[in-house]
A and B are shown apart, each in its own frame.
Chain A
Amino acid sequence: MDFPTLIQILDSTLRLATPLLLACLAGLFSERAGIFDIALEGKMLAAAFASGAFAAISGSAWIGLAAGIGASVMLSLLHGLASITFRGNQLISGVAINFLAAGLTVLVAQHWFQQGGRTPSLLGDGRFSPIKLPLADTLSRIPVLGPIYSELISGHSILVYVAIICVPATWYVLFRTRFGLRLRAVGENPAAVDTAGISVVGLRFAAVVICGVLCGVAGAYLATGLQAGFVKDMTAGRGFIALAALIFAKWRPWFALYACLLFGLLQALALRYQNLDIAGIAVPVQLMDTLPYILTVVILAGFVGRAVPPRAGGEPYVKER
């Protein structure tokens, strides 16, 4: 593998890791607050459709982004209504939301655009175009570091940089602010938070809405950044890979970045090579596709560093009377 190929693979790794990272951080907020969310997939899908559709109609990627966030937050609120207000089963609610998004996106896309469940291809300002960082052209002639700067670090759409900035931002919010402390507490011991006179319901809804916003950005990136428009089922399991990454990272922001980069690399390799030859052994693409899930099961099994979820995760909070 020569150097330019390596740069290309890493470049595509970064692109493919972006939606995973955004969805993973979304899940991090929700699950740290004690609300399991297996509907990352559905929220991303709804956001991808809404942003693809509204960007196509308005011609602006920014309006698309806003619509994507809106659609995703609506599903988040539905999840909140079911699992926080009515204390329903969070996992069942998640399953329902995934199907709801899978069905509704195609139904509405067909009704609006009559293109077999897709949105029209986005042109020009309908997409987030690559941003050239300062001096990218000038520095590109420097050996090794030049291409790394001009091709790997520069030249992505703004949402890629947003996703990366979200990592320290998430860390700061969760571990250095009062809101973050309370949010983590509500995922570990909601009764204690309640005793302190802080609203468990309010905190959990806040977490769920943040989760919706981030999933919205992730979905918008799929339809208006990574690709040009929405196609049926375009999330293709990314929400579940993000969930896997979240467990792999043991619900920590920086490790979420590493896990998503690893899973992004696997996707980039699977996309580029049908059969990867590692030391004379042909690795089929199917193995590369399923490796994130296999690794997550291994981590969950606790053979390599046990993953312990937030203690109150999945349990609806019932106030004592």
Chain B
Amino acid sequence: MTVMPKWADVILVPLISLFLALAISALVILAIGEDPVEAVQLMIEGSVGSIRGWGYTLYYTTNFIFTGLAVSVAFHARLFNIGGEGQASLGGLGVALVLLFLPWPHWTVALFAAMLGGAAFGALWALIPAWLQAKRGSHIVITTIMFNFIAAGLLNYMLSYTLKPAGSGDPASAKFSPSYDLPTLNSILTDLGIQAARDDSVNVTFLIALLACVLVWVLMWRTRLGYEIRAFGHSETAAKYAGISPLKITVIAMLISGGLAGLMAINTVMGEAERLVLNSTGGAGFIGIAVALMGRSHPIGVLLAALLFGFLYQGGAELSLWTSIPAQLIVVVQALVILFTGALDNMVRMPIERMFLAMRRG
């Protein structure tokens, strides 16, 4: 797109889309008889107004960074991975199996092993749809949707029969060994001599998520593989002509995507729940779609969008505590963000393009 300067494409368009989504959300709040200004104040107070609030905001942000990066990497290869939810829950299974059935001497080693387990299971769950798309031409969106449901069934079965400790009533695995507890950011700060309030939500996984942002950037823009993935995404025929194998790129991009989604489980399963519970993902796999669209599939954008959604999630949870606005408000905001930044992108973009065109002529 040469009509618009780059800053307009990267910053202006997403901001206008976000503004539209938030404006309509405010109208929704008005329509259900609540005060949007008060709602925003409560959300800000609850999410970034206290150390505890920040802890939860960053905890959610960690999840959304992983799933957002997962969707982004697939987007670069022009693959729409809707299966982040299923891949993340399989990642949870991988993390749980590694931590339940193998002994680890220290939490650092356990974390490393859990990362491998989570990423491997998530990647495996993405491999089958990828292979089916590349080899048999079955649409990856449909297969990944189906795999979300199959994953839900599989986890439900595992937790109801195989992993549930004898005598326990609820479908959940046994607790992991307390020696695998991940240190929270708060305890790290305290060790460094900085006093912070008590919280046990955001943990070292957040730092791993930041590292993942850097690594994805290096991969996509500084390696041969990343170049091939992007080239394939821009034009499959041109990529083929340049000797890039569609099968290889589809499979590798989806493996990375599924692996990133699976990594989310170290935050939720190992860090927070410390056991595998039903629906450990809590919809984060789907929020990854909104995050990737909003962040224009760039790690910096993903990080910022994940922060925004972390804020919305924590703020929304607080909102449902103090007002009669249900937490589903966030689902509406999420839907509107996906709608405006994704599906109605042209609606926002076309008038801006026209404006820039007029300015250039004038």
Contacts and interface: CB of A to CB of B under 8 A. Distances in A.
A100 B145 contact: no
A92 B146 contact: no
Interface secondary structure of B, over-half rule: helix
B139 to A, nearest CB: 7
Interface stretch (A60-68, A80-88, A148-156): A80-88
Given A284-B160, A300-B143, 18 more contacts: A86-B350, A88-B345, A89-B343, A95-B286, A100-B336, A103-B331, A107-B32, A240-B145, A290-B149, A290-B154, A296-B142, A297-B132, A297-B147, A300-B136, A300-B142, A301-B138, A302-B137, A309-B139
Contacts of A306: 136
A100 B25 CA distance: 11
Nearest to B350: A86
Contacts of A294: 146, 150
Interface of A: 38, 78, 81-83, 86-93, 95-100, 102-104, 106-108, 110-111, 114, 117, 237, 240, 243-244, 247, 284, 286-287, 289-290, 293-294, 296-297, 300-302, 306-307, 309
A88 B326 contact: no
A289 B153 contact: yes
Interface residues of B, number: 51
A238 B347 CA distance: 31
B161 interface: yes
A111 B146 contact: no
Given A110-B324, A111-B33, A100 B156 contact: no
A316 to B, nearest CB: 9
B133 to A, nearest CB: 9
B225 interface: no
B160 A286 contact: yes
A95 B338 contact: yes
Contacts of B221: none
Contact of B339 (A90, A100, A296, A307): A100
Interface string B297-313: 00000000000000000
A42 to B, nearest CB: 9
Contact of B328 (A83, A102, A284): A102
A293 B343 contact: no
